[in-house]
Structure 1
């Protein structure tokens, strides 16, 4: 997915504003297993996934708990880093070799003050990320694991081929054994 497509799927900006954004965005390639954000540290950038898949997780009682997957077109961000410039609570790991677009928070903040269209894009960006978090919270709180797994099959079937089952089970809040039972019932 191109950076123009990613920018405009968030909020369409005039061409001149899009060019200003693109001038401060760089394309980088990082290997599978790379930790993009580390809990307790401040990340200084926002990323958009051109190619690859990532997961966000935290530790609970010495166990990794996955709470989000990102793939092509998605934003990779630690909101606590971005909004408050404070250390985040999550780790974000690349599950595949990834091609990412990176923009430094400082460049983005500067552009917000210089260009009203980019500022509006940033407002929409924040609103979109908030809605995604709200949807994940509601799903986790009110849906059964089998329903959430069915949602993955319906809306993100490629995750099943691209992500280890241990991470999917963690994301669903169940053991791998329970996930196996759910999968056998669905077949």
Structure 2
């Protein structure tokens, strides 16, 4: 998600603080402590909840045709993970969600999410806008995978999310960028070499 998300980060904190009843409803929601490596949602399991990260870092990933994990999103503090399922029969998750760091989450079962939207006026529009912002971020990422070179994708990632990049193991970054660990190591080496030679133009 980006800064445009109205239910993320400081924007969400400000929105909650604008009305005491909103803040009280949010404070009453259940919290869950997670350990690094804990799986919140596995591929193939029914989608059962959404999570808001108060502390820690989550990742979303899927399995490619060869059964390899491919990161598709990271969720640091102030971000949501998981998707509400469509109405009707339970839907199997195509994306797994795992904690990369110990943390604390607001855990919203889908039943609790429905109850919140029904009994708290104003939440529906804000959370819907947040979902749209998340989908737009995913669309931008997919476009970048097609339109930009691997080095350009890495440069954009560093420019847009430097704090997140510093928290991630390189193999997780490589997976997110759609490249191998070896390819990312080569890109980083080229960047360091250019930085070490004043006036050397980018390749």
Q: For residue 51 of structure 2, what is the aligned residue in structure 1?
A: 47
Structure 1 unmatched ranges of 5 or more:
none
| 1:72 aligned onto 2:73 | no
Q: For residue 130 of structure 1, what is the aligned residue in structure 2?
A: 135
Give the direction of change, closer, same or farther, for the CA distance of 1:71–1:118 in structure 2 (3 Å limit): same
Alignment of 1:139-154 (within 5 A): 139-154=144-159
Task: Check conservation: 1:24, 1:107, Cα contact below 8 A.
Answer: no
Give the direction of change, closer, same or farther, for the CA distance of 1:7–1:186 in structure 2 (3 Å limit): closer
Structure 2 unmatched ranges of 5 or more:
1-6, 193-203
Q: For residue 98 of structure 2, what is the aligned residue in structure 1?
A: 93
Q: For residue 38 of structure 1, what is the aligned residue in structure 2?
A: 42
Residues in 2 aligned to 1:152 and 1:59: alpha-carbon distance in whole angstroms:
22
1:6: how far off?
4.2
1:185: how far off?
1.3
**Could you list the per-position Cα deviations for residues 85-139 of structure 1 after superposition, in whole angstroms to 9, with x for gaps in the alignment?**
4111011111111221212221221222233312222222222222222222222
Residues in 2 aligned to 1:53 and 1:28: alpha-carbon distance in whole angstroms:
13
Aligned residues: 182
* Aligned equivalent of 1:12, options 11, 15, 35: 15
Greater fraction strand: 1
Q: For residue 26 of structure 1, what is the aligned residue in structure 2?
A: 30
Q: For residue 171 of structure 1, what is the aligned residue in structure 2?
A: 176
Greater fraction helix: 1
Residues in 1 aligned to 2:102 and 2:29: alpha-carbon distance in whole angstroms:
19
1:53: how far off?
1.4
- When Rg is computed on C-alpha atoms for both structures, the one with the higher figure is 2
Task: Check conservation: 2:8, 2:79, Cα contact below 8 A.
Answer: no
**What SS class does the counterpart of residue 15 from structure 2 fall into?**
coil
Task: Check conservation: 2:52, 2:80, Cα contact below 8 A.
Answer: yes
| 1:104 aligned onto 2:109 | yes
Which stretches of structure 1, 4 residues or more, deviate above 2 A after TM superposition? Answer: 4-14, 81-85, 113-116, 158-161
Residues in 2 aligned to 1:138 and 1:62: alpha-carbon distance in whole angstroms:
23
Q: TM-score, normalised by structure 1?
A: 0.85
Residues in 1 aligned to 2:86 and 2:74: alpha-carbon distance in whole angstroms:
21
Residues in 1 aligned to 2:21 and 2:125: alpha-carbon distance in whole angstroms:
11
Residues in 2 aligned to 1:165 and 1:144: alpha-carbon distance in whole angstroms:
18
Residues in 1 aligned to 2:46 and 2:39: alpha-carbon distance in whole angstroms:
13
